[in-house]
Amino acid sequence: MTDDELLIESLSIIQKQIKEELDAEKGESEASKEIRQDYEEVLELLGYIVPKIKGIDSLYEELDEDEFAFIAECLENYQDNFVIDGRNPQKLKEDEEKYSQLSDILFELYDDDDEEDDGEDYEESDGDEDIEAGLEEDGK
């Protein structure tokens, strides 16, 4: 399975799982209402963002910074709750490979995001402020 295929499959599973959680949340308490509202908001946002995603590249090309962060967080939560089925040796192997591949995708997403941040931070500050602050302290 390619990274693009795994990304699309994972996002589809995430949407399905959230819908199932929403359908299962039947309570009438304030907490249940808030949970349902949160699930509905997440589903609405996923419904808006997921159609834009055709693969890994589209995460960078089609999504703004907040959408990218939201999708990365969804994938991270999915990975944290990823179920590896050990009842069948073939399924176990497939699930372990998917988990490893998903981990690699997330690592790349966060690594690329960090590199962009590092570059922006460097451009915003050339370090002169730090040098000037150090000189002022030395002069006191």
Tokens representing 69?
A: 């962060």
Q: Give just the sign of the alpha carbon dihedral 56, 60, 62, 64.
A: positive
Distance CA 84, CA 128 (A): 51
Helix (H, G, I), strand (E, B) or coil at 20: helix
In the prediction, which pLDDT does 115 show? 56
Mean pLDDT of 87-102: 92
pLDDT per residue as tens digits for the range 34-82:
999 999 999 999 999 999 999 999 999 999 999 999 999 999 999 998 8
